[in-house]
Amino acid sequence: MKARKKVVLLYPRNHFEKIYHPWTWAPLPILAVSAPLFAEGYEVVLIDANVDPGWQQRVVDESRDALLLGISCMTGPQIHFALEAAMAVRTAGLNLPIIWGGYHPSILPEQTSQNGFVDAVVRGQGEVTLLELVNRLSQGEDIAGVDGITFTRDGETVSNPARPVEDINKFPRLPYEKLDNPRQYLNNMHVGTRVINYVSSQGCPARCQFCAEPLVYGRRWEAYTPDRVLSDLEWLESYLGVNGIMYFDSTYFVKESRAREISQKMVDRGMKFGWAANARAPQLGRFADETFDVLKQSGLWAFLVGAESGSETQLTAMQKDIGPEDILEAARVASRHGIKISYSFIVGFPGETEREIEETWDVMEQVSRIVGEYNSQLHFYAPTPGNALYDNAVELGLKSPESLEEWAQFSTVTGRLPWMSKNFQNRMKQREFYLVYGYPSEWVRRRAARSKLRRAYVGVASGVSSARCRHHYWGMPLDWWLLRGVRGAVSEG
């Protein structure tokens, strides 16, 4: 009998609603772990449930003659759809091992492995661990001795020793060409007309107490060499005609010299790319002017900065290791060098006071004044298990899910928390509305130019909102209710 050489990898849907966001991104987690498997000669089927309407039946059909089904997921909806897939496979009478990996299983491996639809959990960096699992299965061997996995058998949960993190430069290039119709992942946006997502590093050295990164990679940061990045970008350019890159690194600018060298080589080779990447605010404040110059020459469109809060108290509590002045200085230096900067802020942290929320809004407005537009995103706090902030949230009444099924319904977007009322969320959305129109961005201005009706709407909304921002007056938001209602009608026009 011929040994089976086929592996099925599933990237579950990210959200319950099909239309959540205007861009479609390549499923980098399953691409990453598939690369060593392809290099070893295995047949790998990549299924992205975000773009494949028949993904569930396809998972079942492809699993009939496969060695294993691998699933990568984060907390929330992806768990729901991962369980759907596993249940469909088992209902079809297929007994191949179902292996889970990704952020959520890596953070809670014991609890995850105790679910009946999980045969083992791959913790942390999965490229080498999954390859060893597949090699063993192809030889008919037991997987129990593989480092870096957690499994439950006969009621006993076992976590094998952690596998050392490997230098990611040893891994093959991500096989975008193996995706079904890879061109569907090209997006038209500010960075370029054919933009794709790419990752040049793993992990993050920061210790932020709301984030999964330090839990999964232990604050270790592994990065591709500049030559490896250039080789990958040139391949994407030649194969897909890519002219823009969204770096999905947790943090790209850990080493100024590396970032500068990559950009200088792009300039030297005449590469015409637009790009954007995540940065930490203090990094930008320390960069030399020459670094900004070459970053801009290479096509850098925007720094994406997780500011999180404008409150010194909250920034200290979450161990962000930055202060409000770092956030403002990053905006100043980026603007001085003609590079856009986009921030993300969070409200609704456990124990956060009204005064601390006001401090965040003050920083958000100061940033908007510095850069000349509101180019930020406001999020509601979403607890990530395994850290101090999550423990605080539980103390304040958050019910901690005790099974994969409960985690599947856990909201990482809407901020459904005991201390976060609908009224609070509406107040925060009102404030953001006023910043959006009080400091209209290029995107808002471009939309306004599409018709006289839209120009009139933006003119009225901007006048009212800028007055509120100048005077810091947020009471009696009748204009918000009225303008929000009119916006829907204008959008239809």
Does residue 309 form part of some domain?
Answer: yes
The answer on 247 and 142 residing in a single domain is no
* Domain final residue, candidates 381, 416, 449: 381
Tell whether 259 is covered by a domain.
yes
Report the pLDDT value the prediction gives residue 272, as an integer from 0 to 100: 87
Beta bridge partners of 43: 6
pLDDT band for 443, please (50, 70, 90 cuts).
confident
Contacts with 353 (C-beta within 8 Å, 6 or more apart), sequence order: none
Average pLDDT, integer, range 298-305:
97
- Number of domains composing the chain: 3
Q: Is residue 311 part of a domain?
A: yes
Say whether pLDDT at 20 is over 60. Answer: no
Same domain for 148 and 109? yes
Residue 430 predicted with pLDDT over 70: yes
Average pLDDT of the chain, as a whole number = 93
Are 365 and 260 contained in the same domain?
Answer: yes
Residue 398 DSSP one-character state: P
End residue of a domain, out of 347, 365, 381: 381
Structure-token pair, residue 331 = 């905006």
The pTM of the full predicted model, rounded to 2 decimals, is 0.93
CA atoms within a 13 Å half-sphere pointing along the CA-CB vector of 152? 13
Choose one of 339, 364, 381: the last residue of a domain. 381
Question: Is residue 191 domain-shared with residue 336, that is, in the same domain?
Answer: yes
CA 349 – CA 174 distance, rounded (Å) = 37
Same domain for 153 and 68: yes
**pLDDT at residue 221 greater than cutoff 90:** yes
Same domain, 122 and 263: no
Q: What is the CATH number of the domain that holds 27?
A: 3.40.50.280
Cα Dmax for the chain: 78
Per 3-state DSSP, the chain is made up of helix, strand and coil in percentages (nearest 5) of 45, 15, 40
pLDDT digits over 127-163, tens only? 999 999 999 999 999 999 999 999 999 999 999 999 9
In a domain, 206, yes or no: yes
3-state SS assignment for residue 244: strand
From 320-324, 375-379, 397-401, 442-446, the region with the lowest mean pLDDT: 442-446
Q: Which domain holds residue 66?
A: 6-159
Residue 488 forms part of a structural domain: yes
Chain CA centroid to CA 474, Å: 32
Task: Tell whether 221 and 366 lie within a shared domain.
Answer: yes
pLDDT at 413: 65
Q: Taking 90 as the threshold, does the pLDDT of residue 325 lie above it?
A: yes
184 vs 51, 60, 67, 180, 343, CA distance in Å? Answer: 9, 24, 28, 9, 28
Which pLDDT band holds residue 412 (cuts at 50, 70, 90)?
A: low
Which residue type is seen at 405? Answer: E
117 and 256 part of one domain: no
Percent of the chain with pLDDT over 70: 96
Q: Does 317 score more than 70 pLDDT? A: yes
pLDDT of residue 1: 36
Domain check: are 193 and 54 in the same one? Answer: no
Based on the domain organization, do 206 and 151 belong to the same domain?
no
Look at residue 200 and tell me if it is in a domain: yes
What CATH number has the domain bearing residue 192? Answer: 3.80.30.20
User: Which runs of consecutive H residues, i.e. helices, occur in 151-274?
Assistant: 213-217, 226-240, 256-268
Is 171 inside a domain boundary? no
- The rounded distance, in Å, linking the Cα atoms of 260 and 282 is 17
Does residue 181 lie in a domain region? no
The answer on 369 and 236 residing in a single domain is yes
Q: Is 278 found in the same domain as 226?
A: yes
pLDDT, tens only, 330-375 = 999 999 999 999 999 999 999 999 999 999 999 999 999 999 999 9
**Kind plus residue range of the DSSP H or E element containing 423:** helix 422-438
